[in-house]
Structure 1
């Protein structure tokens, strides 16, 4: 029996209804992180982009909605999520410029060409394998907890597929920022760190890190993006990004 036939799914809409998303009812479900990740990728017409660990395709579809002339590949480890991503690509009418491959970043499929992408982006597992309280759902655990590939491997893969002077973009837990920066040291520059603040008076739990391969420009630490107002509603800047705009953060030029 096909693994996907055993998965109960829901049909949801993100990006202010621009993207239809079929995803598991239980297990990993796309939230705001892949939407914000896509909003931080500065892609231009005619370029190629790669979504490592694309899940059901949320981030790549969001990027494709904002940048309709960009060709995007997605790589996903879990077969049933890769199949859902393919169905989502078809459902959103983007099969002419998107494809989804199933495979491991440690042993990627040969269809992915080294140093051929202008942009590589990823929402890798947030938890290292030695942390406790793993999700009971196996698929969700694979999405949230590192397996054979650790964060250094994700950075290595992104740099391997990114062309020289191209960009790599990650969204990750704030307490793992040092690991990301160590992985990028000497290999990428023009590093920009965007903290994501739940509210103005709360600590950052997530960061978006963007860098360019083979560039030596110094790092910038931006003011970041506050997601919520005091009443729980989204701030204007966060709302604009979640509705399909590029992510312009305080302190960053347009």
Structure 2
């Protein structure tokens, strides 16, 4: 394909290991990791099934890893992705073409805080919203360090263009009544996430806490919620442990990486 021929040296081409999907990434920008893979798996599990197909939206899509992985797990879905960083957005466009997914994935360049986008992306129209937001609040520390060498990486790591409250407020605007949201975030930000959901009329429904290994404190969590949901249906799943005591991937994580469904 021309996307492969035209790929610059500062980019890599990854095999996503699912349905033959591949992905272009920048060597210097944000590169997807375990959180993205786990979010796509969790999303496939909690997203609703609709007879006419499920309409989904990813906020802060980046280069498209989560949307690509979710499209492989859920062929019933069409997914719109919003990305503000121009470089990441352009790579997302190319990844759609690379995988011949223009009939199922649509890219939109813009700020998630500006949603809805006129008649193009309308409010209260999505069955499912998902996101892996920037984890770091710039008010709680410096927004640059020696490891951050690109604007795309800064935007992916730090809440420069909207924090978790903005992501959840936009989610509340985008979802249909009864629609579902799924997200991954740092463990220490959990109270903020629950508060933001409450303000946006989203009732938490399912929580899984992520641990790097069997002895370390939690580092992240997966959370699902329902717009307009009623209290009383909240459940806490088993801990999701990434690595065993000998630092090998746990059996569950191995299955997440290898399973096709």
TM surpasses 0.5: yes
**Residue of structure 2 aligned with 1:141, choices 154, 176, 181:** 154
Between the aligned partners of 1:243 and 1:64, the Cα distance in structure 2 is 15
SS of corresponding position for 2:141: coil
2:75 corresponding residue in structure 1: 68
Between the aligned partners of 1:200 and 1:34, the Cα distance in structure 2 is 21
Q: Is the 8 A contact 1:15 1:62 kept in 2?
A: no
**Residue of structure 2 aligned with 1:164, choices 154, 177, 181:** 177
Q: Which blocks of at least 5 consecutive residues in structure 2 are unaligned?
A: 1-5
Q: Does 1:243 align with 2:258?
A: yes
CA-to-partner distance for each residue in 1:69-121, whole Å, 9 max, x for gaps?
21111000111111111111111121111111110011133311111111100
Q: Is the 8 A contact 2:87 2:152 kept in 1?
A: no
TM-score, scaled relative to structure 1: 0.89
Between the aligned partners of 1:202 and 1:26, the Cα distance in structure 2 is 30
Task: Please report how far the alpha carbon of residue 245 of structure 1 lies from its aligned counterpart in structure 2 after TM superposition.
Answer: 5.2
2:12 corresponding residue in structure 1: 10
Runs (4+) off by over 6 Å: 4-7
Q: How does 1:104-183 map to 2 (within 5 A)?
A: 104-108=111-115, 109-110=117-118, 111-133=120-142, 134-135=144-145, 136-137=148-149, 138-183=151-196
Between the aligned partners of 2:24 and 2:237, the Cα distance in structure 1 is 34
Between the aligned partners of 1:51 and 1:18, the Cα distance in structure 2 is 21
Task: Please report how far the alpha carbon of residue 216 of structure 1 lies from its aligned counterpart in structure 2 after TM superposition.
Answer: 1.1
Q: Is the 8 A contact 1:39 1:244 kept in 2?
A: no
Q: Is the 8 A contact 1:65 1:244 kept in 2?
A: no
TM-score, scaled relative to structure 2: 0.87
Q: Identify the range of structure 1 (205-214 vs 131-140) with the bigger mean alpha-carbon deviation.
A: 131-140
CA-to-partner distance for each residue in 1:178-207, whole Å, 9 max, x for gaps?
000001126122422111111111111010
Size of the aligned set, in residue pairs, is 243
